[in-house]
Amino acid sequence: MEFYLYLALFAPLAGSLFASLFGASKKNLIAGLVPSLLLFTSFVSSTILLVHILSGGEAVHVEMMTWMATGDLYIPFGFLVDEVSVTMMMVVTIVSTVVHFYSIGYMDHDKAFNRFFAWLSAFVFSMMVLVMSDNFAGLFIGWEGVGLCSWALIGFWYHKESATWAANEAFIMNRIADLGMLIGIFLVYWNTGTLQYNEAFAAMPSLETDVLVWTGIFLFIGAMGKSAQFPLHTWLADAMEGPTPVSALIHAATMVTAGVYLVVRANPLYDMIPEVGIFIASLGAFVALFAASMALVNRDMKRIIAYSTLSQLGYMFVAAGLGAYWVALFHLMAHAFFKALLFLGAGNVMHAMHDELDPFKMGGLKKAMKWTFIMMTLASVALAGIFPLAGFFSKDLILEVAFIEHHYVIYSVLLFTAGLTAFYSFRLVALIFHGEERYKLFGVHPHEAYKFMLIAMSPLLLLAIIAGAFKMTYFEMVTAVLPATEYHVHSAMTYWIMTIGTQLFVILAIAYAYKKYANSNVKVPDGTSKMENRLCYKILSNQYYIPYFYEEYLVKPYRELSAVFWKQVDLKVVDATVDGIANIIYTTGEKTRGMQSGNLSTMLKWMVVGTVALLTLAVVFGLAVRYSVEINAILSALGVK
Amino acid sequence: MLEPINVSLESLNLMTLAPMLIPIIGALLIITIDIIKGGLHKTLYVGLSLLFLLMDFGALLDASGVFAQNGTVMGVFDVMMIDGLAILSQFIIVGASMLFIPLALTHKRFHEFSYPEFFALFLFMIAGFQFMVATDNLILVFVGLETSSLALYTLIAMHNRDKSFEAAVKYFTMGALAAGFYSFGAMIFYALTGSVEINQIASVLTANKFEDMGFVLVAVVFMLASFGFKLSLVPFHTWAPDVYEGASAAMAGFMSIVPKIAAFIVVMRLFEFLVNSGVVWLEIVIYAFVVVTMTAANIWALIQTDVKRMLAYSSVSHAGFVMAAVLIGTTQANSALFLYWALFTFTNLGSFSMLWISRQKHLPAYQSSDHSYDKFAGMIQTAPMAAVIMAVFMLSLAGIPPFALFWGKIYMISSAVNADYKVLALIMALNSAIAGYYYLKLIVYMFMREPIVGSNGHVYVANATLSLKTIIGFAAIGTIFALIAVNPLLEFITSFVHASGF
Amino acid sequence: MFDHILSILIFFPALAGLFGFVIQKDSVRAYGVAVAAIEFALSLWLWYAFDANVSGMQFMEFLPLVPAFGINYILGVDGVSLFIIILASFFTMIGIASLSDTKNEKNMIITLLFLQMTMVGVFAALDAIVFYIFWELSLVPMLYIIGAWGGPLRIYASVKFFLYTFAGSLVMLVGMLFMAYYFYQATGTWSFAILDWYRLILPETFQLWLFVAFFIGFAIKVPMFPFHTWLPYAHGQAPTIGSVILAAILLKMGTYAFIRFSLPMFPDASVFFMFPIAVIAIIMIIYTAMVAYAQEDIKQVVAYSSISHMGVIILGTFALNVEGITGSVFLMIAHGVVSGALFLLVGVIYDRRHTKMMSEFGGLAQVMPRYATVFGLMLMASVGLPLTINFVGEFLSLLGFYKQSHILTLLAGVAIIVGAIYMLAAYKRMFFGNVTNEKNKNLPDVNTREWLALIPLAIITVWLGVYPKPVLEPINNSVESIVQLMHEKSITAEAKERIPNLIKDAEAATSAQEAH
Amino acid sequence: MMEITLNHYLVLSTILFAIGLVGVMRRKNLLMLFFATEILLNSVNIAFAAISHFYGDLTGQMFAFFVIAIAASEVAVGLGLLIVWHKRHGNIDLDTMSTMRG
């Protein structure tokens, strides 16, 4: 099995290196094909490992070599394939294989085709390291590695200012969270003496709760950054500047779920600190609602999907925070499939529309792009959580978890958000595929994507539809390492009311979306309509003014403070002090050089003056010594001594 | 009736006079030769002077052997005193003179060297210095001091330029005043103790527990003023830059070394017993002198535009630095003084000689003075070897290891440290940093600026002859490889200083 | 012959430099490369012959210099100094090899060879005065390099560099003399040998004063805030090769000296000053990173980034435990490689455009993709991405300090954020966007000579990031002995507690294992 | 009549010395300056002679003799310089001697 582990891990790296050989040369199909095939190999290996695990095999654990060892610290490159990581490996390899093949078509006309594949495969490698590592440091390697690749891929079209800006934003914001993660790792090390998962978690029960709470919090801060949880969420929407396959792979299916993975992986820790878990769940619920609300009014296709991703990540955190780790992981998996599908569909639309992103400028595309239409609709249905697609099984389960754990506020929020989710998803579908063909105003001639791209997407479609069926198999497998809590509403009555109620609510929201946006009255908004001038619309469309706030109150002050530090403090205070000391010495010289007037008379006077001054001192001192008794008497009389 | 004088020649110990008599004989010989046959070439006189100095050195070696065996030797009615300090300082005096004399063999003709009197006076001067250091008697100190000073004034004036005369007059006048101070100070000591011999003065003063402290201090003040002038301590230093500028570069280099070491010896003999017997006032005053002289001279050196004047101020500053030894007064400090000065001899004489070989007869228009900084711009390109050597001297003066003066500096600072003068040690160290600036300035000019158009490398060695180059090479080797010499030198010096009771 | 390998390493380049005077101008580069290559080979041999399992000094040499005053020529290397010596010879080699056309090339190469002597000397010296000699002497060639081949403000920059460091090291010298005096008082003999000094246990007040004296010298060299202002000028004005050596090696002298002198000699003072110094380090990290962000000149960005990284090194050093100190030593090497490479990269573009202002560039990724790639790699290393060389050091340094203070480490950890900010911003300004400046349209990409320097650096950056063990292990062994020494020497209770006792730990660990 | 004691001589010497000092400071004429320095030295001579008598010790008188001799040679050298200066510049004014400064 070790062979397959290494194969799964290093095939993407090989692909990346291969593609980077062609990095600076012209587009070369082979630079896309080879990495894709290698990824497929990786996928196959992962599948073999999955089968191995499913068939009751032991977790595969290898230690490749030492990375760092000093003092008591020992960090190997160790890899672990257990039930949790194999799930992640499957998700990662499936989605990335699909995305790779899809990208061969999508990036067809791009000059930097080869570079794209180099980075994309590198990303997969980093992600594999992240999920397969058996220790926190290895996790951190992957963690930062995906950050790097994400940076390079968001800023892939580096000539665009917005793209590079978004790339840097993503990187820096992730770094803020990474600091938390790093501190969390330090805490783990200094309290347990190791960074290996199994040893560290084994040592944790004997630690003080305070320490555990802090560790949990700091690790979660790391997770917040990668999974774009509030308040570190702004980068995700901006990250949509990258090529769409990147969004599908990184910003929907894999990287952003790393945070969830981390919490799931650290479940022994979080189990011991339920108060942090509740915080995670609450934040998750908040983000679910918060992101969904922003998706309601957004006019950028990819951003809508990105907010949707954010919202779904919130759901996952609710599950993870409430201790239902396997549920979180299950939703993570299901979400990866249908969200990647949705993104790739959006990619097709973008291609067809020459990179137009405003769904209001599309409409009626279902004729031109039948398959895309079907796929996106199904993906949206899955996202909305309608029976029997994947979303139903995974998302409704989270609602149930919240209900069963008696977190009714969270439950209500999630339920409401489910309605919003359905609404904005179908608002998007309706705007793109139904109604008038508004794109004609802009002189675009849409066409369906390459057939092989559609075929490449099909596995995702399939999985989006049927993933729910594996729920119990999955449960049995993954609970070998995760807490095996089954979530069943106690009374069947309540269960059915909840389920049907939820379904009805969601369907109503879809219907409303269709009613509002699938008709021929939809116009391209021009900022004059009543709705657009409502306060709440403005707040939502400006993302609660949070990016504005960040720009005005963090970025600008930072920039200005930097300038002040340089020009005012560094140059005018610190450096000027140093130069000032030198200048004082120098000017003292200039000022006193008059003493050396060159006039003999003056010179003689200096000599005499010096002598007389010394004489005076001598006389004073001599008298003081001679009359010291008297002086002391006088002084003591005066009360000095 | 006076008793008939009955002194055995044995007890006179005339051998103690030998080192002083040799240069005097040499001087007389030179004058005699000139009387017999005038117009002889200067090489003859240089050769003769060198010969006598060499003999002098030999006599000193002999004396040092005697000292190593028998300790301090008194002679000639106990007026002469050949102790470790006397021998060490005479080594420096005679050694530096031997390095100086060949500098007369310049390529260009200079007025003073055509006179045999120059060499005669020079030898008289050396004898004067030797007397100064080899006695305990204030009268003989005075005689030695004045003999050498008067000769020196004349030597400066013989350079025969307006500035030289101005320098000589200034030096002379101030010297006369200083002589007045000296004699007045000696008079008070005499009045207080009835003796003019330092050790007797010391014992009398100690015996009566410094009863008349006020008068002792007055005497000390006059002595301080007098030797402050000789050592160029601020504010008695005003002559130094002008006289250095007026004198020829070679003479200036000589003046920065030899008269000062002689004066230091007297100061050591005179003041250290006072400092050690707890005259707090003197300690404070010398402390102030040390700090002010080091710092002020450094600051003034910063703003100079002429290298020679800069070196003048730097010499003042170095003197202040070394004065710290008198303040500290331990064996280590006194040894450090000699070590420092021996190493300083090489470096400073070398750097002044570098100026000497670049001496021009006529100043070009772009140059404001004989040795202005501009003159040395871009020297690395036109005369690389000379530039490197000059840089080495500058680095040594700045105290960059492993060059000569560094060793003197650390030993001196270390002696301050060991005697618990913490602040003083810091001030000494930081002053070296200030000093770094002006030495560096010359290096900057030589290495980092573009040469002035039209100047070629010849100007820097215009005055050079083989003998001058030899001297400079000698100085450079001494400066660079001082590291090797430090240990034997230190051991030699320390044993002598220790044996002299200092 | 190899009994004297260290002396050979020190004086071979200087002697070769002297012979270099007679070589004809146009051929001197080949000569320089050959000499530097031999020197590098010798240093590799040193590594090969170095016994990684020995924690003490190896290749010791002894020669009396001024025995009357306790000054002796003592050399030796341990894991801490070994790699910096190798780095020094490595950088001299690639520095000379990749030297772009300069005027007075001969002088430059000879100066570099002399500089190499002083660099190796500093790290091999085991006598305080010998250390001081090389320490001061290293200023001179650097002064010349900056002053003679630098930019318009070169003289100001070089003199400032020289005097500032000179002033600081004089204070350090006074400290050394005090130390020798205390040693003399305690033992009755003069000695400046560092290993002798290690044996001396000083009362705490003495330690504090001496620590301050040494600190001033080291802090200016490092340079630590607020003594850092000479560095931007020096880097800004120095020619590429000067900046490379300055950043890669010369700055390391300060941090190395902390480990060689301050920690083992004054363990209690180190503990006493740990927090103030950590605060300074944090100021260095954050403040200079912000200043770097405000820069308009790419070289200044790299220069200020150096200060910021030195802050992390200082922090790791004053973690006073094995993890932190090992990390800081490793980071010295890492920072040497990375900042050296970054300065070389800046030099590449400077050679082409004769400007370093970022506003002049933009979109270079399109015209010089290879250049952009290497720059990107080094940038990511500088930012401290895992699997690059910097990360190992940075991680260990912060990890080590975390043991001492949580909140300060959190603040210091901001390094990874602010570092990313200025570096990415600079990269964006230079490489991203469209080519707007006509002059940039036809810039040639990295040429062979430049590759020659950059490829090895890139390889080291990744290699030691992935597999730091060969370097980390010897460092670790030496650091362990230093830490143990510190623990045993310390006198205050706080110091005993802050500095871990490795032996006790080891015993406890074995007994714990037996219990299992 | 009051007896002349040592103190009287010493006071006289001090007064003369002070006069000399003032002269040194005030005189702009080189020749007068030399006179002033001579007064300095001679004031000391008086004191030496007196003290010598007081102690009944010849050392002081010896010192005085040497001072006289040195003063004489000083004058010789000084006058020589003065004459050269006068030859070259036509004056002996101190204020003309300040080409070197700073």
Domain boundaries, chain D: 14-95
Question: Is C77 within 8 Å of C47 (Cβ atoms)?
Answer: no
pTM over 0.90: yes
Q: Tell me, what's the pLDDT at C160? A: 93
Subunit contact C402:A175, Cβ cutoff 8 A? no
- For residue range A280-297, list pLDDT tens digits in order: 999 999 999 999 999 888
Q: Is the Cα torsion angle C77, C80, C81, C87 positive or negative in sign?
A: positive
Distance of CA A273 to the CA centre of its chain: 24
Using DSSP, state whether A61 is helix, strand or coil: strand
Q: Tell me, what's the pLDDT at A565? A: 92
Mean pLDDT of B450-466: 78
DSSP labels, A8-49 = HHHHHHHHHHHHHHTTTS---HHHHHHHHHHHHHHHHHHHHH
- For residue range C346-405, list pLDDT tens digits in order: 999 998 988 889 988 888 888 898 999 999 999 999 999 999 999 999 999 999 999 999
In sequence order, the 6+-apart residues with CB closer than 8 A to the CB of B348 are B253, B256, B257, B311, B315, B318, B393, B397
Instruction: Report the alpha-carbon distance of residue C105 to residue C201 in Å, rounded.
Output: 50
End-to-end CA distance of chain B: 42
Q: Tell me, what's the pLDDT at B487? A: 93
Subunit contact A145:C386, Cβ cutoff 8 A? yes
Mean pLDDT of D33-46: 92
Contacts with B313 from chain A: Cβ below 8 Å: none
ipTM: 0.91
Question: Is A306 within 8 Å of A434 (Cβ atoms)?
Answer: no
Subunit contact C155:B425, Cβ cutoff 8 A? no
**From the list B238, B281, B285, which residue is nearest A596 (CB)?**
B238
Q: Which of B163, A415, A194 is nearest to C323 (CA)?
A: A194
Q: Do chains C and D touch (3 or more CB pairs under 8 A)?
A: no
End-to-end CA distance of chain C: 51
Q: What share of chain B is helix, strand, coil (3-state, %, to 5)?
A: 75, 0, 20
Subunit contact D101:A596, Cβ cutoff 8 A? yes
The reply to whether A48 touches chain C by the CB within 8 Å rule is no
Q: Which residue of A has its CA nearest to C500?
A: A71
DSSP labels, A470-524 = GHHHHHHHHTTTS-------SSHHHHHHHHHHHHHHHHHHHHHHHHHHSSTT---
Q: CA-CA-CA-CA torsion for A40, A41, A43, A49, nearest 10 degrees?
A: 170
Instruction: Report the alpha-carbon distance of residue A60 to residue A1 in Å, rounded.
Output: 7
Q: What are the angstrom distances between the C-alpha of C500 and each of A161, A186, A301, C327, C483?
A: 51, 17, 58, 16, 7
- Which of the residue ranges A120-134, A157-171, B7-21 would you say has the lowest mean pLDDT? B7-21
Which residues sit opposite C66 in a β-bridge? C71
Is residue C1 assigned to a domain?
A: no
Is residue C399 assigned to a domain?
A: yes
Q: Which of B181, B209, B217 to mutate to test the interface with A (most CBs of A within 10 A)?
A: B217
Q: Tell me, what's the pLDDT at A148? A: 92
Vertex A190 angle, CA C481 and C400, to 5°? 45
Q: What is the mean pLDDT of chain C?
A: 91
Subunit contact D24:A604, Cβ cutoff 8 A? yes
Mean pLDDT of C83-99: 92
The reply to whether C406 touches chain A by the CB within 8 Å rule is yes
**From the list C323, C370, C421, which residue is nearest A70 (CB)?**
C323
**From the list A593, A600, A601, which residue is nearest D102 (CB)?**
A593
Which residues sit opposite A77 in a β-bridge? A65
Confidence of residue B138 (pLDDT cuts 50, 70, 90): very high
* A361: its two tokens: 């400028």
**From the list C291, C466, C476, which residue is nearest A566 (CB)?**
C291
Is residue C38 assigned to a domain?
A: no
Contacts with B186 from chain D: Cβ below 8 Å: 44, 63
Mean pLDDT of A548-556: 91
Q: Which residue of A has its CA nearest to C163?
A: A582
Q: Tell me, what's the pLDDT at B378? A: 86
Indicate whether A526 pLDDT > 80: no
Q: Which of A346, A521, A553, A503 is nearest to A432 (CA)?
A: A346
A:551-590 residues touching chain B, CB 8 A cutoff:
582, 585-586, 588-590
Contacts with C421 from chain A: Cβ below 8 Å: 172, 558
Q: Tell me, what's the pLDDT at A58? A: 85
DSSP labels, C106-126 = HHHHHHHHHHHHHHHHHHHB-
Report the helix count and the strand count for chain A, using DSSP H and E.
Answer: 27, 2
Question: Is A263 within 8 Å of A223 (Cβ atoms)?
Answer: yes
User: In total, how many domains does chain C have?
Assistant: 1
Instruction: Report the alpha-carbon distance of residue C497 to residue C404 in Å, rounded.
Output: 10
Indicate whether C506 pLDDT > 60: no
The reply to whether B208 touches chain D by the CB within 8 Å rule is no
Instruction: Report the alpha-carbon distance of residue B129 to residue A409 in Å, rounded.
Output: 104
Q: Tell me, what's the pLDDT at C510? A: 57
Question: Is B392 within 8 Å of B442 (Cβ atoms)?
Answer: no
Instruction: Report the alpha-carbon distance of residue C382 to residue C375 in Å, rounded.
Output: 10
Instruction: Report the alpha-carbon distance of residue C56 to residue C64 in Å, rounded.
Output: 21
Subunit contact D94:A593, Cβ cutoff 8 A? no
Question: Is C98 within 8 Å of C452 (Cβ atoms)?
Answer: yes
Confidence of residue D1 (pLDDT cuts 50, 70, 90): low
Q: Which of A183, D73, B110 is nearest to C406 (CA)?
A: A183
The reply to whether C470 touches chain A by the CB within 8 Å rule is no
Residue B13 CB neighbour total at 10 angstroms = 16
CA distance C250 to chain B (A): 17
Subunit contact B401:C129, Cβ cutoff 8 A? yes
- For residue range A478-493, list pLDDT tens digits in order: 888 888 887 777 788 8
In sequence order, the 6+-apart residues with CB closer than 8 A to the CB of B265 are B85, B86, B89, B132, B133
In sequence order, the 6+-apart residues with CB closer than 8 A to the CB of B496 are B64, B67, B68, B84, B85, B87, B88
CA distance C217 to chain B (A): 12
Question: Is C475 within 8 Å of C251 (Cβ atoms)?
Answer: no
Indicate whether B496 pLDDT > 90: yes
Instruction: Report the alpha-carbon distance of residue B264 to residue B267 in Å, rounded.
Output: 5
Contacts with A63 from chain C: Cβ below 8 Å: none
Q: What are the angstrom distances between the C-alpha of A607 and each of A612, B336, C235?
A: 9, 29, 49
C:130-149 residues touching chain B, CB 8 A cutoff:
132-133, 136-137, 139-140, 143-144, 147-148
CATH 1.10.287.70 fits D14-95, yes or no: no
Q: Tell me, what's the pLDDT at B275? A: 83
User: Any long-range contacts for B274-283 (C-beta under 8 Å, 24+ apart)?
Assistant: B274/B216, B274/B220, B275/B326, B275/B327, B275/B329, B276/B329, B277/B202, B277/B205, B277/B206, B277/B210, B279/B210, B279/B213, B279/B216, B279/B217, B279/B220, B281/A617, B281/A618, B281/A621, B281/B217, B282/B217, B282/B220, B283/B327
Instruction: Report the alpha-carbon distance of residue A314 to residue A311 in Å, rounded.
Output: 5
- For residue range B381-413, list pLDDT tens digits in order: 888 889 999 999 999 999 998 899 999 999 999
Contacts with A626 from chain B: Cβ below 8 Å: 213-214
Is residue C506 assigned to a domain?
A: no
DSSP B402: T
**From the list B414, B436, B444, which residue is nearest C155 (CB)?**
B444
**From the list B162, B177, B191, which residue is nearest D10 (CB)?**
B191
Using DSSP, state whether A53 is helix, strand or coil: helix
In sequence order, the 6+-apart residues with CB closer than 8 A to the CB of A387 are A503
- For residue range C110-162, list pLDDT tens digits in order: 999 999 999 999 999 999 999 999 999 999 999 999 999 988 999 999 999 99
The reply to whether B492 touches chain A by the CB within 8 Å rule is no
Q: Which residue of C has its CA nearest to A152?
A: C376
Subunit contact A72:C323, Cβ cutoff 8 A? yes
Which residues sit opposite A135 in a β-bridge? A196
Q: Which of B451, B436, B446, B276 is nearest to B355 (CA)?
A: B446
Confidence of residue C3 (pLDDT cuts 50, 70, 90): confident
Query: Structural domain of residue C371, as residue ranges?
Result: 273-466
Domain edges within chain B = 13-357+369-499
Subunit contact C421:A566, Cβ cutoff 8 A? no
Subunit contact B176:D101, Cβ cutoff 8 A? no
The reply to whether A638 touches chain B by the CB within 8 Å rule is no
